[in-house]
Each structure stands twice: as structure tokens, then as C-alpha cells.
Amino acid sequence: MNAPMRRVAMVSIALFALLIGNLTWVQFFQSDFYANHPRNTRVQLEEYSRQRGAILAGSEPIATSVATDGELKYQREYPDGPLYANLTGYKSLVHGSSGIEGAENEVLSGSDDRLFVDRITDTFTGREPAGGNVILSVNPKVQEAMAKGIGNSVGAAVAIDPKTGAILGQFTSPSYDPNLLADHDTNAEAEAWKSLNGDGDRPMLDRSASDRYPPGSTFKVIVSAALLEMGYTPDTMVPAGNSYSPPDTTHDITNSNNQCPNAQMPLKEALALSCNTTFSRLCVEEIGPEKIAETAAKFGFEEGYSTPLDVVASTTGTLGDKATLAQSCIGQNEVAATPFQMAMLSAAIANGGTRMAPHLVKELQAPDQTTLERTTSEKLGDSVDPEIAAQLQEMMVGVVNNGTGGNAKVDGVVVGGKTGTAEHGDGVPEHGWFTGYAMGDDGKPAIAVAVFLDSAGDGGSGEATSIAGSVIRAALGK
């Protein structure tokens, strides 16, 4: 064979090898990618030819599929769309899925391996195939109380069962209607997508878990935990006063409304009255940055969660110099937390110091409603010893009964908590916060809750506290 023929043959062989290699790559290594690609219309027709399973909050369906007269046999519907949008997410022909729709897609679509027998049975019996159901731990009354309380304000709320980690409510405002993104009219869906993503109020942002904010005075609970671990007690006399000048700065730490004029007071009173000067001074002169970072981490800071929905990690940021530490210990500077994390803080304290893994999914069901999987409680770790937790409970109850958290009171119920006001820019109204818990009639922790109101201004923490009280009443049926 002459040289030109050999070159042609070698090129042909190389091209053939590349063709076989590409075919192998597509067929074996990228098969799932192409099979599940949103633009694969064959897959869409197959998927929408069977009824997708329901998502339920308790016994209430919050995402269902209904029959249509179109080429796609079923349409996804969300009966209370904006109320649960951050949890259900959306199921879109164009933009795929999010939230529980995405996280539990295999069960909902019926493609989960545990439903293989159901699929085989459907083939032989002629029964119409369907997806499985996802039951959430959310209490609809709690979710509704959050939505009613926050109203048209910008904010979020989270409620957790401290004993189990089950999420009882998780709401964000403003919200959006996922029905708009489930529309089979792709032009209408595209317009809705563009409008939602172009909205300056960011209705598709889950403020409860996907964004972080300075927690203000709610962070003083963590500072209190550090002090108690160092040997302080709720009755230890600590420095107060209405002004403190940290080293290396000309900026004075002050209190609002002259609420801490005495030179000294018990630690529990300093927390109840939310004395900035006390906690800044003690952080700088007694605790130090390493202990604060360590204590915050034991409560979950610097750690993300999956419920299975992602929760971004809260952070203490840089605690370095003394001037910075003084601000950080009153929840300012670079300290940033999700409402979810602040609910986890109170949950751990209410649960005797034990932090449970948060979970949103209570049960996965087959199409015939038999159980595929039921979530079991899992311990993440001990934030503080039970003795320290009991002292923190005493101090937080004092905040509600004798301090700034009076709006969270519920008749006949032991409620503990901490309010917070957080600056986040010059000339911008402050954020309002509350984190707390309530005990049930059996004396065991029933609910932990955090409420965040963005730029609520004067009185914002009081309003957040009132909302938390309403959420507690809804959870306990009071």
C-alpha cells in the first residue's frame, strides 16, 4: 500500500474510532443526561403521560396533578401556591424542577427503583402508571400563621420540633405562584419566568434558608452560652451601663432607650434587657474570639443543612481585633445567619442542648399509599451540656416574662426567647428578629421558632416577636 493510501486508511480508522468512542460516551456515560434533559420531548411526553405523585403537608395536598385534554396528559397544580412555594418548588416544562419537586423527583415521577415492582405490575394489569407521594412534616396551621403574621412584609419564619428536628413550618415573603411555571403554554411560562426573575423584590429567593442577615441581639444567646460554659451563672453580676468604648476604635457601643443604666446587673437581666454594653465588653475582656467561634459552631454556624432542601451555612465572619469582636458579639459586623439557623439555635437549647438533624420529608409513599420510607430522627451533636441548656432556658424565659420578648407570651405556656434588632447599612431601617421556643403541656419542648423581618425599622423586633407568639399558638392549638 502506497503512502497516500496508508494516510487515508489511518485517517478513516481514526475517524471511525472517534465515532465509536463518541457513541459509547453518549450511550453509556451521558445516557442519564440526555434522558432527563428538559428539551427531550420524548421523555416529557412519557413523563406527563402518567400522573405525578402528590406532595402533602400533613394530610393536605399542596402539589397535585390533574388530567388535561392536551398532548401532555397531566398538568401540575399547586392549590396554595405562594404559601408553600419555597418548599414545593416548581415543575416546569422549560426550566426543570426545584424544591421538593426536584429533590424527590424519582419518587414523584414513579422512576424510583423501589417502585420497580409497581411499574411491572402496571404493565401486566393495564393499570395507569402513577408516581409516589411525598408527605412533609409541615403543620399547615403553623405555615398559615407565619404567612398571616408576615403579611406583605419582607421576611421569613421557620419552626422546628426540637425533639425530632422535624420542620413544622418554613415560610418566606414575598413568595410566588408556582402554577405560573407549571403552565403547558411555554410562551406564558417563559414570560412568567422572566417577570419573576426580573422582580426587584426577589420573590423566588427563600429568605428562610438561602440568604443570611446580621442577627443582631439574638446572637447574645450564643455569647451567654459561652459565658455559662466559662463558669458564669444567670445570677452572676456583670458590667452594664449605657456606653462602652472598645479598644482600638473611637466608636462607642451604646444601648437603645437607656435600658441598662446601672453599672452592674445579673447576667440574666442583661440578656432580658438586651444590654449591648454588657455583651460587647465581656466578649472583649473575658471570652475572646476563639471561644465565640467555637460556641457558635457547636450550635451550627459554618455548617449547611440538607432537609433535603439546601440551607446555606451561617457564619461568624472575621472576629479578629477587639473592636471587631465588640460588634460581632451583638450580632453585627460580619456575623450573618439564616432564620433557619436561628430556629435551630433555640431548638437545641429547648432540647436540653442536643441539636437534631432538621428534616422536611416525613414519609415517602408508593402510589397505593404504602410506605416506602419514613424519616427517623438523627442527632447532630451536643451544642451545650444539659445543665448549661437549663440555665439558658431560664434566661430566655426571663426575656419573655420580664424583658424585651413580652409579645411572645402565651397564656399557660412556658415560652423562652430572644429579640434582636440589626443594623445593615447607613440610613436603612433595621432588621427585626425573634428566636425562641415553647414547652408543651407535658413539659417537653414542643416548638422552636425564628422570625425575621427585613428592614422593619423601629418596632420590627416587637412585631417579629408577636408573629412568633402567633405561630406558637397555632402549633399548640391555643
Give buried/exposed letters for 419-448 (b at 16+ CB in 10 A, else e): bbbbeeeeeebbbbbbbbbbbeeeeebbbb
Q: Which residues of the chain have a pLDDT value below 50? A: none
Q: For 96, which DSSP code?
A: E
Give buried/exposed letters for 180-211 (b at 16+ CB in 10 A, else e): bbbbeeeeebbebbeebeeeeebbbbbbbbbb
Q: What value does the CA radius of gyration of the chain take, rounded to a whole number of Å? A: 27
CA 180, CA 85: separation in Å to the nearest integer?
A: 11
Q: What is the pLDDT of residue 37?
A: 57
Cell of 200: 426587584
Domains and CATH numbers, the chain: 216-362+378-476 (3.40.710.10)
Confirm if 283 and 292 have CB atoms less than 8 A apart.
yes
Q: What is the pLDDT of residue 307?
A: 97
CA 336, CA 278: separation in Å to the nearest integer?
A: 21
Q: What is the pLDDT of residue 70?
A: 84
The model's pTM is 0.89
220 closest CA partner among 47, 337, 133, 131: 337
Active site (catalytic) residues: 217
The residue behind cell 474570639 is: 289
Rounded to 5 degrees, φ, ψ at 385 are -70, 155
Q: What is the largest CA-CA distance in the chain?
A: 104
Give buried/exposed letters for 291-300 (b at 16+ CB in 10 A, else e): bbbebbbbbb
CA 474, CA 145: separation in Å to the nearest integer?
A: 7
Q: Which residues pair with 66 in a beta bridge?
A: 75
Confirm if 369 and 183 have CB atoms less than 8 A apart.
no
Q: What is the pLDDT of residue 127?
A: 59
